[in-house]
Structures are given as C-alpha cells and as structure tokens.
Amino acid sequence: MAASKQIIVLAINLLVMACGAISLRAEVPRALQGVGFDQRLDQQVPLDIKFNDESGKAVQLGDYFGEKPVVLVLVQYQCPRLCTLVLNGLVQGMLEMKLDAGKDFNVITVSFDSREDWRLAASKKESYLQRYGRPGAENGWHFLTGDEAQIKRLTDAVGFRYRYDPAQNQFIHASGIMILTPGWKISRYFYDVDYPGRNLRLGLVEASNNKIGSPVDQILLYCLHYDAMLGKYSASIMNLVRLAGIGTLVAIVGFVVFLQKRYGRGRIRARQQAAVGVGGAS
C-alpha cells in the first residue's frame, strides 16, 4: 500500500512538472520565440572570422587573442534600447573592477547588423572610451562590423540566436555578454543588462587560468559557484561549510596553542618563584 501511494505521488509530481513546462512554453510571446542563448561552454570560436575594425581595417578574430581573456559583446550600434543598456551595464561593471581593459583583458564588441559600417563603430568606440576613461583602453576595446555571412559564423559559434523583424525594422534578441579564454574558448555567459564588477572580475580570473587576480579572488572563487543556467555566481554552500570548518579548526588549534603558551609561562614563573623561595629559606 505504501509503495503504491509513493508511485501515485510521483506520478502526480511528474504531471505537475510537465504541465508547468508546457505553461512556460505557452507564455513565451511569439516575437521572442527562437531568440536567446544556446550555451557553447568550452567550445572555441573560429579565429579566421573576418571583420572590419573601427578604422575600416580588415581584421580577423585571431588578431585579438593571445595572452588575455576577452569579453565578447554582440550588439547593434544603432539600437537605442536594449543594446545600449548592455553596453552601459558592461562599462559600469568594468569601472567597478581594478582590472583594466587593454592591460588585463580585452573587449570585443561586434555588431550583428550587417548594414552597420566602421564609421558607426568608430563613433560608438569614442563614446564608450570617454565613459570608461582609463588610459590604454583604446588598445584593448575594439568595435567591429562585418558582412552577414561572417556575423552568422560568430553568432552560431557562441549560440546567440536573434532575428530581424521587417515589420518593425528592428532586431529581436536577448541581452548578455560572454567571457572567453585567451585561446578564444567560451568560458562564461552573463545574462541581463547588469554585470556587477565582482562577477566580471571572477569570470575574467577564471578565464585567464589564474594569470590575473589576487589570492582574495581565489578564495571568492572557492566560496562561489558559477550557475550556468542563471549566468551568474552564487554562494557554494558546501564550500562555505568546508571553509567554515577549516576556520573553526584553525581557531581551536590557535586557542590551544595560546593556552599552552599562557599556562606554560605561568608554570615557569611558579617554578622560578618556588626556587627563589627555597633559596631564601636556606
């Protein structure tokens, strides 16, 4: 009887979960269907994809990889809303870090609108370099444009799904950025339009194979866990428990050592006083 009840409860739970999944799918507006990110973690982006930089010069993605991790941003330069929020959120997060663009990491901003040219890219670069305001960033923050075939190669490689709506003459897309390793493997996805400096820094430290950052960053990476579904770092409960256990053990050992030293000194003084007392009596 107990087993049959368990089976019934399990079946009900599965049915509720299935209905919930169907409901979620039904709630997605038609305009947003087929839009989003398909995570391609640990996959390498093709380095031979061709673009034009903000000066109109022909470049390849491989020209920008080497020793530094990369923040990759896919936007439309003329987009007045979501893309602007993405770039604003990125520059704010960068300003919250002590790491510097051009020195510790590079930023590659690519337009997914093939109608946009290098002049728009140059204007956008000038605007955001002024907002960022740190020296050397002009050598580490690049704004690229390209033709539709090359753009599609990149968006397919990183799993960025978007579509053009001719009725509204605009692109429908998700918001997010990606962190790539120096070898252009996809390391992290961060979603939304808010990219806190802590998350950016930890993502870059991880992507750099610990070549940048500080010992404090390593402790934070131990205490936090990257949630690929949410695209952010959250507390790693088990690691926090382990760290707290280690801290408690260290505290106990330290207290025992302190007591030993304290009472050891007390015993030594007592012996010395006793010796003096014995000598005085004789």
Mean pLDDT by 10 residues, the chain (282 residues): 44 40 47 78 94 97 92 94 94 96 96 97 97 96 97 96 87 92 92 91 86 58 64 54 46 58 62 57 48
Angle at which helices 237-281 and 215-223 cross, to 10°: 120
Please, what sign has the CA dihedral across residues 96, 102, 108, 111? positive
- Which among 71, 75, 19 has a CA at the least distance from the CA of 204? 71
pLDDT of residue 11: 41
| Spatial contact of 82 and 174, defined as CB atoms under 8 Å apart | no
- Strand ranges (E), the chain: 36-37, 50-52, 58-60, 70-75, 106-111, 141-144, 160-161, 163-165, 170-172, 176-180, 186-191, 224-227, 232-235
What's the number of CA atoms in the CB half-sphere (13 Å) around residue 197? Answer: 12
pLDDT of residue 165: 86
pLDDT of residue 10: 39
pLDDT of residue 61: 94
Q: Whole-model pTM above 0.75?
A: no
pLDDT of residue 265: 62
3-class state of residue 101 by DSSP? strand
Q: How far apart are CA 74 and CA 160, in angstroms?
A: 8
Domain boundaries, the chain: 37-208, 214-260
Q: Please give the CATH topology (third level) of the domain spanning 37-208.
A: Glutaredoxin (3.40.30)
pLDDT of residue 80: 80
pLDDT of residue 266: 59
Enter the tokens of residue 155.
């968006």
pLDDT of residue 225: 59
| Spatial contact of 191 and 54, defined as CB atoms under 8 Å apart | no
Type of residue found at 83: C
pLDDT of residue 55: 96
Please provide residue 110's backbone torsions phi and psi, each rounded to the nearest 5 degrees: -125, 130
